[in-house]
Amino acid sequence: MRGKIIQALAGFYDVECEGVIYRTRARGNFRKKGKTPYVGDLVEFSAENPQEGYILAIHERKNALVRPPIVNVDQAVVIMSAREPDFNANLLDRFLVLLEYKDIHPIIYISKMDLLEDEEVLLAYAAVYEAMGYPFITQMSDLLPYLKDKITVFMGQTGVGKSTLLNKIAPDLALETGEISDSLGRGRHTTRMVKLYHVHGGLIADTPGFSALDYEVKTAPDLNSAFVDIEKVSANCKFRSCTHTHEPACAVKSAAEAGEIAAFRYDDYLQLLSEIENRRETYKKVLKRK
């Protein structure tokens, strides 16, 4: 049989197959091969009854998050507040780069719209991101249809109202994670139990914090392909390895000057690129010292 792991707890994996949940274990040979099943995995399994099954094989994964350990994530709702803290495009771009790199489709959700007196600036940003293919949502009712048939995670910095939004979308999740963290202590809960919740026809996870996705984009080409607007134009640069900084006949630089790429996006690209390069320099120096 084939199903999806929707919960992992203390060596047991709950696999959902055609609406039935089977409690399974991984055969010993998985551990010998260093393979661990994760929540989100599509697996082949056998089970005589729903209480007792075995995972036989794990299908190839399209991506993996580390904390919490969830694989095959389709999309992420990036929550940014309109005010308190103010909307921050630089921070948003950092989230987007990470998600693109992991092949997770971003959905931008703006919270605390009621605190915003003038929407004009935000609408200008909305136009830029929507042109890149990212939904830019300001109402919860507009978000819900996106959840159908997908595995979704929610992310955002502290104070943007992530819990408030999740409480509204999935009261069960809020209730259950609250109860478990109270009874077992937070640490044990976060390391042991990972679960996907059925919500509005899809599956959502209790969700990575900002630090959970450590910076994994390490090279200029990775960065280029994670900026979808820049990547699109970069095919027309004269040099294939163009970093869009100093090279002649750079299509990206021209497009930024002409306003075809938003100036703030190009600035964020340059900033992230220089951070990547600085990190590489530091790393080289450390190696030399050894």
| Least distance from Zn ion to the Cβ atom of residue 221, Å | 12
Beta carbon nearer to Zn ion, 201 or 221: 221
Chain contacts with Zn ion (rule: CB under 5 A): 237, 242, 244, 250, 252
Q: Half-sphere exposure (CA, 13 Å, Cβ side) for 140?
A: 13
CB of 93 to Zn ion, least distance (A): 18
For residue 272 the two structure tokens come to 């992230």
Q: How far is the CB of 152 from Zn ion (least distance, A)?
A: 34
Q: Which is nearer to Zn ion, 112 or 265 (CB)?
A: 265
Tokens of 258: 């002409």
Closest listed residue to residue 91, CA positions, set 46, 156, 17: 156
Furthest-apart CA pair in the chain: how many Å?
Answer: 66
> For residues 154 and 227, which CB has a smaller minimum distance to Zn ion in the complex?
227
Nearer to Zn ion, 32 or 246 (CB): 246
Closest alpha carbon to 175 in 206, 149, 201: 206
Beta carbon of residue 230, minimum distance to Zn ion (angstroms, whole number):
8
Chain centre distance of CA 59: 21
Contact 107, 76 (CB under 8 A): yes
